[in-house]
Chains A and B, each alone.
Chain A
Amino acid sequence: MTTDLQREQLAKLVASFMSYSAGHLPDDVKLRLTEMSKIENEGFAPDIYNVMQKNMELADSLKRPSCQDTGIPQFFCRVGSKWPYLDIIEDALIDAVKEATAKAPLRPNAVEVFDEKNTGNNIGTHSPWIDWEIVKDSDVLELYFYMAGGGCSLPGFSKVLMPLEGYEGIAKAVFEQMTTYGVNACPPCLVGIGIAGSSEVAAKLSKKALLRQVGSHNPNPKAAEMEKLIEDGLNSIGLGPGGFGGKLSVMGVNIEQASRHPATLAMGMSTACWAHRRAGIRINPDFTYDFFTHKGAAL
Chain B
Amino acid sequence: MSTFEFKTPVTEEDIRKVHIGDVIYLTGDIVTGRDDVHHRVAISGKEPPVDLTGKAIFHAGPIMKKISAEGEPDKYKVISVGPTTSMRMEKAQAEFLAKTGVKIIIGKGGMGPKTTQGCIDNCAIHTIFPGGCAVVAAEEVVGVEGVEWLDLGMPEAMWKLKAERFGPLIVSIDSYGGNLIENNKIEFNEKREKALEELKGKLNFMD
Contacts and interface: CB of A to CB of B under 8 A. Distances in A.
In the A-B complex, the 6 residue pairs with the smallest Cβ-Cβ separation, listed nearest first, are A186-B131, A118-B153, A184-B109, A167-B203, A233-B195, A68-B80
A154 B82 contact: no
Nearest to B107: A184
Given A120-B153, A179-B192, A229-B202, A55 B136 contact: yes
Contacts of B136: 51, 54-55, 58
Contacts, number: 166
B144 interface: no
Interface of A: 44, 47-48, 51-52, 54-55, 58-59, 62, 64-70, 105-109, 111, 117-118, 120, 150-151, 154, 163, 166-168, 170-172, 175-176, 179, 183-184, 186, 222, 226, 229, 233-234, 236-239, 241-245, 273-275
A176 B203 contact: no
Interface in B114-144: 128, 130-136, 138-139
Given A48-B130, A52-B130, A186-B132, A237 B80 contact: no
Contacts of B191: 236-238
A106 B109 contact: no
Contact of A229 (B82, B132, B188, B199): B199
B168 A64 contact: no
Nearest to B194: A236
B199 A233 contact: yes
A275 B110 contact: no
Interface of B: 60-63, 65, 79-82, 84-85, 87, 108-110, 128, 130-136, 138-139, 153-156, 168, 170, 180-181, 184-185, 187-189, 191-192, 194-196, 198-200, 202-206
Contacts of B133: 51-52, 54-55
Given A175-B192, A179-B192, A236-B194, A151 B170 contact: no
A51 B168 contact: yes
Given A54-B136, A58-B136, A239-B188, A70 B63 contact: yes
B20 to A, nearest CB: 11
Contact of A234 (B87, B134, B195): B195
Given A65-B63, A233-B196, A222 B84 contact: no
A176 B192 contact: yes
A107 B108 contact: no
B155 A274 contact: no
A154 B85 CA distance: 10
19 contacts: A51-B136, A51-B168, A54-B136, A62-B135, A67-B80, A67-B82, A69-B84, A106-B63, A151-B85, A151-B131, A168-B199, A168-B200, A172-B196, A175-B196, A236-B194, A237-B188, A237-B191, A238-B188, A273-B132
Given A183-B109, A186-B108, A236 B195 contact: yes
A109 B155 contact: yes
Contacts of A237: 188, 191-192, 195
B155 A107 contact: yes
Nearest to B79: A64
Q: Is the interface of B mostly helix, strand, loop or mixed?
A: mixed
Contact of A55 (B110, B134, B188, B195): B134
Contact of A171 (B62, B63, B135, B203): B203
B119 to A, nearest CB: 18
B183 to A, nearest CB: 9
B198 A233 contact: yes
A67 B155 CA distance: 13
Contact of A150 (B85, B181, B187): B85
Contacts of B65: 105
Contacts of B194: 236
Contacts of A150: 84-85
Q: Which of A226, A234, A237 has the most CB of B within 10 A?
A: A237
Contacts of A68: 60-63, 79-82, 134, 138
Nearest to B198: A233
Given A59-B135, A186-B108, A242 B130 contact: yes
Nearest to A109: B155
B185 A66 contact: no
Given A48-B130, A168-B203, A179-B192, A151 B108 contact: yes
A166 B206 contact: yes
Contacts of A172: 196
A55 B110 CA distance: 22
B127 to A, nearest CB: 12
B80 A66 contact: yes
A184 B195 contact: no
